[in-house]
Amino acid sequence: MTPTALWKRLLILAVCLWGVFAALPNAFYSRVEGHNDAAVAIEKAGGVATPDQDAALGTWPAFLPSALMPLGLDLRGGAHLLAKVEVEDVYKARIDGLWPEVRDALRDLRDQVGAVRRAPSPDDELRVTVSNPEGMVAAVQAVQALATPVYTLTGVGAADIEVTAEGADIVVRLSEAERAASDDRTVQQSLEIIRNRVDEVGTREPTILRQGSDRILIQVPGIGSASELKTLIGTTAKLTFNPVVKTTTNAGADAGARNALLPARNETGLYYIVEETPVVTGEELVDAQPSFDQNGQPAVSFRFDGAGARKFGDYTAANIGAPFAIVLDDEVISAPVIQSHIPGGNGIITGSFTVEESTELAILLRAGALPASLTFLEERTIGPELGADSVAAGKLAAVIGMIAVAVYMVASYGLFGVFANIALAVNMLILIALLSTIGATLTLPGIAGIVLTVGMAVDANVLIFERIREELRAGLSPPKAVEAGFARALSAIIDSNVTGLLTALIMFFIGSGPVRGFAVTMSLGILTSMFTAVYVTRLVVELWLNARRPKTIVV
Amino acid sequence: MAWRLKLVPTKTNIDFFRWQFVTFGASVVAVVASLVLVAVMGLNLGIDFRGGTTIRTESSQPVDVGAYRQALAALNLGDVSITEVKDPTFRADQHVAQVRLGAREGEEAVTPEVIAQVETALKAVDPAISFPAVESVGPKVSQELIWKAFLAVAAGSVGILFYVWMRFEWQFAVGTVAALLHDVIVTVGVFAALQIKFDLAIVAALLTILGYSVNDTVVIFDRLRENLAKYKTMPLREMMNLTANETLSRTIMTATTTFIALLVLFIFGGDVIRGFVFAMLFGVVIGTYSTLYVAKNIVLMLGVDRGDKPKKDTGEFASIEA
């Protein structure tokens, strides 16, 4: 048979060696993981290592590859959440922000439109009643003039608001383009803030991805439960400091214009009426840390930025003796009375917290408030023990499966079966090496994909061997028969693998979760098995033929 | 001659069309029966497709389904089902059960309070209980997942149809796709008949069956194409039998290795993926059957245009030096 070119032989050998090399770390999973974690921690600390970290770093030699197959949630345990960002939440603030502008614009036209007043309306529109409807056309024009163009990737020019006249009312709504732009911003901001919060907790390799227009997928390995994760990321954490008008025990009390009735967090039945416009907000915080108040109770200390500190200082100076509400997500945490002017912008929030609550609140305040609330559409928690059980079961099945297939191949094809098994072993190594290098997450269906690859990988060899048998029966000499067997089987191998690859790719693009994990291992398995079954087996058979030069062969 | 394990004799001469009306008829009946089963009995849809919550419980104490049910009945949760999970891979003191709560009317999101209530109630029955997995899917997402799953199978079939059409003739493409739809439909029918949980992972299994079935069919068609060029005058029916017999050893060999690997996974892989592996095991068997008895029959019915030579004789890849 035509000998394989030297460069080709070297290339095949190099790929095989790379497979062994890059798959190696997975054989020492926990050691390498310790090494990698230490390396990351040291880098975060700016190159300073604790003795423990140095020891962990030393368990794995630096010259060896250290990429591992990351384990999916079903194997490692952890929490998975799919959250929907309630993008409409933001519209109300936008609409409220428009009202002063609209009022001022209409005030200039007072002689045409008469008096104006804001009428009750849904959250996403602004409704203004004018007392003199004859001036409506001018009024609409004046309000429309407030619009600014929205810049989007697809085009420029759409105005951010739509103004219409309905009877004596001017109705202002956000335009389609503005809503789309606003939704996009909201989701992007939420994503960033969720990432900050999860990073603050410091778990390994969280996955935080945007999905579709208004959804965020969050996967955090190693976290105890989805509800734990949910309290961390599901809290809006909108902190404001509002002047208190008065307290009441009546849940239905009328708060009055521009005021809000808010419940107290720690005392049921107690309500505060506060001014709706805050003095300062959480956005003006630069730091928040868990601490203790003078009585030793857990508390959160915070610091304002320059502008916040000035506003806070001015307000406290002007309102000594008045109560001041600290509001978190529409609940009054506490309402201390201002004792003195507080310059410098430092403060402390007390409110009968537990230590955990104060730690969590500090994290939330540092990471910033979510622009909109989240609704959870899907949540999954997998305990670490279940994951470990699955890993053990998957490993066992993969090993036994490989042995069973190997025995069967030798029984069916003798020495050629051994050749196929060499190719199969190399195939497994390259597959693991590939998965580690590209960092494809291994899931339980992924393990099934690998086991299936074991079964199907030998198909190419079976095709070749059956073909060689036929050619031998047809009377070809051993080298000729082997050559013809490889050449003629190739068309079938390629057709069958391409169709397999096609379905795997479709699974990857359309599927989600388990389907994807399976698709990744299956498609990589198809590629590696084509390489090993065709090239590696051929090289091994060729070397054997050249060394032995048999007169007859039995496949 | 050295000893070899041979499931198929070296030379076979089986007439695969001898009982063609029986075998093809059986396939048609199986497809129709599956569709009827799915329509009448419905699938035992998992929460991926139906919405709701499943809680896996594990305890060192034996599972008392009655006591669990009683404890949860007080909570008024509506549709609750409790099943004990038994598996040979469990340790002697490992007792597992699956609690399933239906999706609640008009709730887009899942409520952690309900889950907490259930956990507390079960802890009262059995203090040693733990909850190694809790999964909730809202009805909105589950609707989308159904649609996506359907789309995946459809797109897979269309992709294969075009590839086979491109590489062979349209009759072959129709035969292939008919065979794989047969496999997928009958597998789904078996899931309906046995009421095995049908979730997202099963869809992955269905797609794999698709891939496997096509793989098998394409190998035979590839050989058929070769034979069409080789024996210009042999009747199509005879040639198909020749082809199937020539490749039979390979067909059975590959089916057996795949089956062995999957069987090991079925036995040792744990209960979490057992349904998934079952689907694939069944798929290997039916995929092999449909290769021999469905795909070819359809091509035979449609006939192959042999006026001009087949578009590509042994395939352009055959000449590439490997």
Amino acid B313: pLDDT: 45
CATH class, domain A235-378, is alpha beta
Per-residue confidence (pLDDT) for residue B318, from 0 to 100: 42
In a mutational test of the B interface, the residue from A408, A495, A541 whose CB has the highest number of chain B CBs within 10 Å is A495
Supply A92's token pair. 């109300």
End-to-end CA distance of chain A: 17
From chain A, pick out residues whose CB is under 8 angstroms from the CB of B319: 487
Q: Which two tokens stand for residue A73?
A: 């949630």
Hey, which residues 220-259 in chain A have their CB within 8 Å of chain B? 225-227, 230
Q: Does the pLDDT of residue B311 top 50, yes or no?
A: no
Residue of A154, A78, A142 whose CA lies nearest to A110: A142
Query: Do the Cβ atoms of A495 and B135 come within 8 Å?
Result: no
Q: Do A515 and B207 touch (CB under 8 A)?
A: yes
Domain range annotation of chain B = 20-44+142-317, 52-137
Interface test with A, best of B223, B264, B288, B320 (most A CBs within 10 A): B264
DSSP-assigned letter for residue A550: -
- Measure the CA–CA gap between B193 and B39, rounded to whole angstroms: 11
Buried b / exposed e over A509-543, threshold 16 CB at 10 Å, is ebbbbbbbbbbbbbbbbbbbbbbbbbbbbbbbbbe
Residue A176 CB burial class (10 angstroms; 0-12, 13-18, ≥19): exposed
Any B CB within 8 A of A407 CB = no
Burial class (CB in 10 A: 0-12, 13-18, 19+), B222: buried
Q: Do A499 and B218 touch (CB under 8 A)?
A: yes
Reduced to 3 states, what is the DSSP secondary structure of residue A555? coil
Looking at residues A468-479, what average pLDDT do you find? 89
pLDDT of res. A98: 83
Nearest alpha-carbon partner for B253 in A484, A452, A528, A405: A405
pTM greater than 0.90 (yes/no): no
Identify the pLDDT of residue B317. 46
Nearest 5°: phi and psi at B138? Answer: -75, 155
Lowest mean pLDDT across A71-80, A271-280, B100-109, B242-251? B100-109
Asked if the model's pLDDT at residue A499 lies above 90, the reply is: no
Higher pLDDT, B272 or B319: B272
SS3 A244: strand
| Residues B294, B184: Cα–Cα separation, whole Å | 13
Q: Does A298 touch chain B (CB under 8 A)?
A: no
> Residue A499 and residue B215: Cβ atoms within 8 Å?
yes
Chain B residues 162-181 within an 8 A CB cutoff of chain A: 163-164, 167
Buried residues in A245-270 as b, exposed as e (16+ CB within 10 A): bebbeeeeeebeeebbbbebbeeeee
Q: What is the Cα–Cα distance from A366 to A349, expressed in whole angstroms? A: 14
Q: Report chain B's mean pLDDT, rounded to a whole number.
A: 85
User: Of B133, B226, B320, which is closest to A490 when you measure between CB atoms?
Assistant: B320
Distance between CA atoms of residues A493 and A464, nearest Å:
9
Kindly state the DSSP code that residue A45 receives in the 8-state scheme.
T
CA quadruple A306, A309, A313, A319: dihedral sign: positive
- Euclidean distance between CA atoms B267 and B277, whole angstroms: 10
The answer to whether residues A210 and A187 touch, using CB atoms and an 8 Å cutoff, is yes
For A305, the 3-state DSSP assignment is coil
pLDDT of residue A1: 65
Instruction: Choose from A506, A527, A555 for mutation: most chain B CBs within 10 A.
Output: A506
Percentages of chain A per state (helix, strand, coil), in multiples of 5? 55, 20, 25
Indicate whether B322 pLDDT > 70: no
Least CB–CB distance from A448: residue in B259, B277, B318: B277
What average pLDDT does this structure show over A103-115? 83
Which residue on chain A is closest to B108 by alpha carbon? Answer: A377
Res B109: pLDDT: 58
Listed ranges A234-238, A283-287, A306-310; the one with the highest mean pLDDT: A306-310
Please determine, for residue B212, whether its predicted confidence score (pLDDT) is greater than 60: yes
Say if residues B269 and A394 touch (Cβ distance below 8 Å).
yes
Q: What is the 3-state secondary structure (H, E, C) of chain B?
A: CCCCCCCCCCCCCCCCCCCHHHHHHHHHHHHHHHHHHHHHCCCEECHHHHCEEEEEEEECCCCCHHHHHHHHHCCCCCCEEEEEECCCCCCCCCEEEEEEEECCCCCCCCCHHHHHHHHHHHHHHCCCCEEEEEEEECHHHHHHHHHHHHHHHHHHHHHHHHHHHHHCCHHHHHHHHHHHHHHHHHHHHHHHHHCCEECHHHHHHHHHHHHHHHHHHHHHHHHHHHHHHHCCCCCHHHHHHHHHHHHHHHHHHHHHHHHHHHHHHHHHCCHHHHHHHHHHHHHHHHHHHHHHHHHHHHHHHHCCCCCCCCCCCCCHHHHCCC
Distance CA A480, CA A292 (A): 85
Q: Is A91 on the interface with B (CB under 8 A)?
A: no
Would the pLDDT of B30 be above 60?
yes
- Maximum CA extent, chain B: 79
3-class secondary structure for B33-96? HHHHHHHHCCCEECHHHHCEEEEEEEECCCCCHHHHHHHHHCCCCCCEEEEEECCCCCCCCCEE
Residue matched to tokens 């060899």: A461
Antiparallel, parallel or unpaired: β B197-198 and B44-45: parallel
Pick the CATH number of A6-76+383-548 from 3.60.20.10, 3.10.20.340, 1.20.1640.10, 1.10.3720.10: 1.20.1640.10
pLDDT digits (tens, 9 = 90+) for B78-132: 788 888 888 888 888 889 998 988 877 666 656 777 888 888 899 988 888 988 8
Return the bridge partners of A378, or none. A82, B137
Percent of chain A with pLDDT over 70: 98
- Overall average pLDDT of the A277-294 stretch: 84
pLDDT at A378: 87
Q: Is B321 on the interface with A (CB under 8 A)?
A: yes
**Nearest Cα residue in chain B from A473:** B10
3-class secondary structure, A52 = helix
Superfamily name and number for B20-44+142-317: Multidrug efflux transporter AcrB transmembrane domain (1.20.1640.10)
Phi-psi region of A323 (alpha: psi -120 to 50; beta: other; left: phi over 0): beta
A203 confidence band (pLDDT: 50, 70, 90):
low
Residues of chain B in contact with residue A466, where contact means CB-CB under 8 angstroms, are 247, 249-250, 253
> Do the beta carbons of residue A216 and residue A68 sit within 8 Å?
no
Confidence of residue B316 (pLDDT cuts 50, 70, 90): very low
Chain B hits for A444, CB-CB cut-off 8 Å, are 272-273
Best mutation target among A453, A461, A503, A508 (most B Cβ atoms within 10 Å) is A503
Contact at 8 Å (CB) between B53 and B101? Answer: yes
What is the per-residue pLDDT for A156?
Answer: 61
Q: Are B137 and A378 in contact (CB under 8 A)?
A: yes
Put simply, whether A20 touches B (Cβ < 8 Å) is no
Q: Is pLDDT of A332 > 90?
A: no
A116: nearest Cα among A93, A126, A124, A125: A126
pLDDT, mean of residues A149-157 = 66
CB A106 within 8 A of CB A87: no
The shortest CB-CB distance from A393 to any of B109, B155, B268 is to B268
Q: Is the dihedral of CA A79, A85, A86, A91 positive or negative?
A: positive
Amino acid at site A509: F
Could you tell me the residue ranges of all domains in chain A? Answer: 6-76+383-548, 89-179, 235-378
Sort out which chain B residues have CB atoms less than 8 A from A2's CB and list them: 321
Return the amino acid letter for B204: A
Q: Spell out a b/e string for A350-375, using b for 16 or more CB atoms within 10 Å of the CB, else e.
A: bbebeeeebebbbbbbbbbbbbbbbb
Q: Which helix (H) or strand (E) holds A247?
A: strand A239-248
CA distance B177 to B144: 25
- In terms of CA atoms, which chain B residue is nearest residue A510? B152
Q: Is A275 on the interface with B (CB under 8 A)?
A: no
By Cβ distance, the residue of A380, A445, A454 closest to B276 is A445
B203 neighbors B48 (Cβ within 8 angstroms): no
Q: Is A79 on the interface with B (CB under 8 A)?
A: no
d(CA B157, CA B154): 5
Quote the CA–CA distance of A107 and B138 in Å, as a whole number: 49
Closest chain B residue to the Cα of A413, Cα to Cα:
B4
B28 at A interface, C-beta within 8 A? no
Q: Which of A302, A83, A105 is nearest to A191 (CA)?
A: A83
Between chain A and chain B, how many beta carbons pairs sit less than 8 Å apart?
A: 258
Query: Residue B310: is its pLDDT beyond 60?
Result: no
**Cβ A452 vs Cβ B208: under 8 Å:** yes
How much is the pLDDT for A233? Answer: 82
CATH class of B52-137: alpha beta
Chain B touched by A376 (CB under 8 Å): yes
| Chain B contact for A478 (CB, 8 A cutoff) | no
For B218-255, the pLDDT digits (tens) are: 889 888 988 988 888 888 889 999 999 988 988 998 89
CB B320 within 8 A of CB A493: no
Has residue B314 got a pLDDT over 60? no
Per-residue pLDDT tens digits for A500-543 = 888 888 878 877 766 777 788 888 999 999 899 889 999 999 99
Instruction: Count Cβ atoms below 10 Å from residue A34 Cβ, excluding itself.
Output: 18
Distance CA B136, CA B36 (A): 30
pLDDT above 70 covers what percent of chain B?
A: 93
Residues A306-323: what's their mean pLDDT?
Answer: 87
| B75 CA: distance to closest CA in chain A (Å) | 20
- Chain A CB contacts of B56 under 8 Å are 386
Residue A284 CA to residue A311 CA, distance in Å, equals 10
Tell me the sheet residues that pair with A161. A174
Take residue A198 and report the two structure tokens written for it. Answer: 């999860």
pLDDT of residue B307: 60
Q: Say if residue B309 is exposed, middle or buried (CB neighbours under 10 Å; 0-12, 13-18, 19+).
A: exposed
The answer to whether the Cα torsion of B19, B25, B30, B31 is positive or negative is positive
Nearest CA in chain B to A497: B215
CB A182 within 8 A of CB A91: yes
CB contact under 8 A, A452 and B262: yes
Whether the predicted pLDDT of B319 surpasses 70: no
Q: Quick one: closest CA in A to B223, which residue?
A: A492
Q: Considering only the beta carbons, identify the residue of B89, B164, B280 that sits closest to A393.
A: B89
Q: Which of A231, A233, A377, A472 to mutate to test the interface with B (most CBs of B within 10 A)?
A: A377
**Nearest-by-CA chain A residue for B90:** A389
**Residues of chain B contacting A541 with CB distance shorter than 8 Å:** none
The residues in A 429-458 lying below 8 A from B, measured between CB atoms, are: 444-445, 447-448, 451-452, 454-456, 458
Contact A56, A34 (CB under 8 A): yes
ipTM metric: 0.81
